[in-house]
A and B are shown apart, each in its own frame.
Chain A
């Protein structure tokens, strides 16, 4: 199988890469009509599979699950998830031939084998849906020409997809139709109906392409989302211990700090996050994040280049073929870091203290979000896609770190993200060695404002605020966040 993107002429590459259109809610007026009465069969019943299926069924659609024979015979968790919720479950042979829409929600790495098993069983003219385009774009999977291929990718973990739906809302979702596989021209109608079925239409839908989704998703996850949060966490912890800060305190500050800090990012973007700092700390965070951006820019660009050229997926797939040798090695190393092995201390850290004592992380997050966004946009990805794959997802990943540190974060994210994360982390740490030498506890571990009188230069502060607020990620972010919360805005009488 050849890398699909690399088979395209440049103009087509650019066209698909640059596809991102924020859809108006009027486009969803037909509701779930296009899928009403159709047989939907979901392959896989993990967190995404189960929760999307629950939503689709609650939207009046006919949903069943197909699992591998062994999963059914051994009554694995996926089988229990489906049967405990009274879904019909059957083998590929039993259910796939009846399906009008097959939704593949298995892990990326299994896609090739799953599709090879499922495709010959699919009925003429049916539809196949993905929630990530790696298999199509990077592995170059060829789908039977009579089949329609769509993508519906909710940009949140499965549990949230369900919780938001039940609340009467949804999560932002990206949809696409593979241009090589839309023989009947029904792709968009079905993707939209599916999206209504999961509630995505109420939170903002981005009309994208398989190519744009893959190239931006890979970039986001390996740089800012997972890679830099990992590097920044480990370096911060080590620095505090080196400077004599209590290890339990340091562990807690790092584990929960990313979550608290990026919660501010979620609500108010990069500028909202920096607004949580005092004025002097804000200026400092701005200054060091500028420096961090300069240091890390070449690394971000290299990651983007390797993703666009297919070099990244090629090396990763070689590792898959090699029994995940590198992945497992790096995973073990992550489990061995001092941060991972030091339990969070039994100390109270107030919400504001996470900002005041962890200015360094604020700087890391700002640098990473802006760099990832800028690099993606420079590569031809649209601002909307770049926003979802950088800023929007950062708090979600930070949340997994708060749960059980980096090991857990790497366990929860996809194999592809995990591989890319380690790759980035390996290269980024040496790059920051000199920078970290200059870092002291005022930036990480102690309150930056201690011993300062809080005064700043007016002009400087105004300039910095403007630079922060006028960054393109903030401009597109304001628009998209508004769509996500459109329904709760106050329309008073």
Chain B
């Protein structure tokens, strides 16, 4: 007779008038390893938090921890979203600040953070050392937290939770931003934990899962709906194809041949080389994919192009036909670029509505803007309609499902119809249908004289228009090649 590990009864969670979980009852039996999938916006994250007891709910939750086990009798939740704070709990960081170098910087190093966690949870650091190497996370231990890329932040969160080995481990979107190898390592690690007696609840729509997963469910109308396999998860309804707004069919004025020219660029922080001898030329109209493992320097490379990196000055860099540091301001540069990145998304203004978010794209500001003229208002409306965002226009961006947030941010990047699109893992956290839709839009956009730099780990998840590839490893360019046939 199976024994219940967790019993949930009459669980209800309500935000304002919106009921997210509705009188939900669920039993997780000992030995079960669950995957929760399905459509975004159905309450998966809320359920994860409720299971871990980190959100207030009505109803009962009972966990029968195994008192004889050597594993901590606790539930641990790894969030899909990371709110970065510095040592003093100051949230007022902006993503670009990670490139500024200031002595006496007051954020923790990765190592210090892990040691702090070890003390707090009474863990032994030696247990983790090999794991860090396997996970490709050993080299960043001396980095300041603020210097980490999104994939590396994800790894840090995962390392902490997996190291702890709680009897109940809930991971919300574990694979977001991880490179290919890290995903494999993560799944092996999770399987080992399951073997040791950890109960997993994984929230994801990914298909490459730990072998241990043996139960599947989605949420339907605020209740648990167990299904036989991930194939049975409800899919997002495919969006209707719409015509691209006319203003995006105007070819941007580009009186130069080369968008980006980097010659032998080095970026270092003290002894750490982040980029070594990087040379790269992007000509007008070219469509590039930029690839490399987590921490290989991709974001840093993009920051040189986007005007965000203070060390760009004094390097041999030409952007849009001008030598960097010849009197242009970063706003002159940004005005020609539509940028989307996970880091920017993290630090995006929490008070911005969807409408504000898109409007701020005219000013390259983060949520702020001065005034929007009639013509610009029209463009925002057209774009909202194009992306099916009109009904959300007055909602706060961060309260939308992730897929919608990404579309709103994409709308923000293209609202000014810039000559260059820099899309840094724009589909992180989206399922395959959402990714497909997003990339289809990109393919259509670039038909009209745009240059594209796209970061994505998986060939199958790239826009079809990609024709060139640049690959970084440990700060060096290891390949620059043409892609003849799309996979």
Which residues of A are at the interface with B, using a C-beta cutoff of 8 A?
32, 36-37, 47, 50, 54, 57-60, 62, 77, 80-81, 84-88, 159-160, 162-163, 166-169, 399, 402-403, 486-488, 490-493
* Cβ–Cβ < 8 Å partners of A488 in chain B: 349, 351, 356, 367-369
Residues of B within 8 A of A402 (CB): 88-89
Nearest CB on A from B464, distance (A): 33
Tell me the nearest residue of chain B to A158, going by C-beta: B102
A368 to chain B, nearest CB (A): 24
- In the complex, are the beta carbons of B368 and A491 less than 8 A apart? no
Known: A86-B311, A163-B93, A163-B97. A168 touches B365 (CB 8 A): yes
Contact of B103 among A32, A37, A80, A169 (CB under 8 A): A80
A492 and B380 alpha carbons, distance in the complex (Å): 12
Whether A86 and B368, one on each chain, are in contact in the complex, defined by CB atoms closer than 8 angstroms, is: no
A162 partner residues in chain B, CB cutoff 8 A: 97, 100
Residues of chain B lying within 8 A (CB to CB) of residue A169: 365, 368
Query: Quick one: which of B88, B90, B329, B355 has the most chain A CB within 10 A?
Result: B329
Which of B104, B329, B356, B364 has a CB less than 8 Å from the CB of A77? B104
B88, B307, B312, B325, most chain A CB atoms within 10 A: B88
Residues of A near B363 (CB, < 8 A) are 168
Contacts A54-B100, A166-B97 given; indicate if A160 touches B372 (C-beta within 8 A): no
Within 8 A of A (CB), among B81-109: 88-90, 92-94, 96-97, 100-104
Residues of A within 8 A of B94 (CB): 163, 166-167
**Chain B residues whose CB sits within 8 angstroms of the CB of A166 once the complex forms:** 94, 96-97, 308
Q: Whole-angstrom distance between the alpha carbons of A488 and B363 in the complex?
A: 12
Beyond A58-B330, A488-B368, list 13 extra A-B contacts (CB 8 Å): A59-B330, A80-B103, A84-B269, A85-B310, A159-B102, A167-B365, A167-B368, A168-B360, A168-B364, A486-B370, A487-B370, A488-B369, A492-B355
Interface residue count on the B side (C-beta < 8 Å): 49
Residues of B with C-beta under 8 A to A59:
329-331
Q: In the assembled complex, how far is the CB of residue B10 from the closest CB belonging to chain A, in whole angstroms? A: 26
**Chain B interface (Cβ < 8 Å from any Cβ of A):** 88-90, 92-94, 96-97, 100-104, 269-270, 307-308, 310-315, 325, 327-332, 349, 351, 353, 355-356, 360, 363-372, 377, 381, 394
* Chain A hits for B349, CB < 8 A: 167, 488
- Beta-carbon contact of B104 and A36 below 8 Å: no
Report B-chain residues with C-beta under 8 Å of the C-beta of A86. Answer: 310-315
User: Chain A contacts of B312 at CB under 8 A?
Assistant: 86
**How far is A493 from B313 in the complex, measured between Cα atoms in Å?**
41
Residues of B within 8 A of A32 (CB): 329
Closest to B347 in A: A167
Closest CB of chain B to A272's CB: distance in Å?
Answer: 17
Q: How far does the Cβ of A88 sit from chain B's closest Cβ, in whole Å? A: 8
Of A37, A167, A493, chain B has the most CB atoms within 10 Å of the CB of A167
In the bound complex, CA of A287 to CA of B103 (Å): 47
Shortest distance between the CB of B231 and any CB in chain A (Å): 43
- A166–B92 Cα distance when bound, in Å, is 12
Q: In angstroms, how far is the closest chain B Cβ from the Cβ of A39?
A: 13
Smallest CB gap from B96: residue in A: A166
* Contact status B327-A60, CB under 8 Å: yes
Alpha-carbon gap, A340 to B311, bound state (A): 40
Nearest-neighbour CB distance to chain B for A404, whole angstroms, equals 8
CA distance A451 to B311 in the complex (A): 61
Chain A to chain B: the 6 pairs with minimum beta-carbon distance, closest first: A168-B365, A84-B101, A77-B103, A60-B329, A85-B310, A487-B368
Give Cα distance in the complex from A399 to B308, angstroms: 28
Report chain A residues within 8 Å CB of B102: 47, 50, 81, 159
Chain A residues with CB below 8 A from B381, complex form: 493
Of A77, A160, A168, which one neighbours B366 at CB under 8 angstroms? Answer: A168
Q: Look across to chain A and name the residue whose beta carbon is closest to the beta carbon of B86.
A: A159
CA distance A402 to B92 in the complex (A): 15
Q: How far is the CA of A491 from the CA of B372 in the complex (A)?
A: 8
Chain B residues closer than 8 Å to A493, beta-carbon distance: 377, 381
**B89 contacts which chain A residues (CB < 8 A)?**
402
Judge whether A491 and B93 touch: CB under 8 Å: no
Bound Cα distance A399, B310 (Å): 28
Most buried by A among B103, B270, B307: B103
| Contact sample, A vs B, 15 pairs, CB 8 Å cutoff | A36-B327, A57-B313, A58-B330, A59-B331, A62-B327, A77-B103, A77-B104, A84-B270, A85-B100, A159-B102, A163-B97, A168-B366, A169-B368, A492-B394, A493-B381
B365 touches A81 (CB 8 A): no
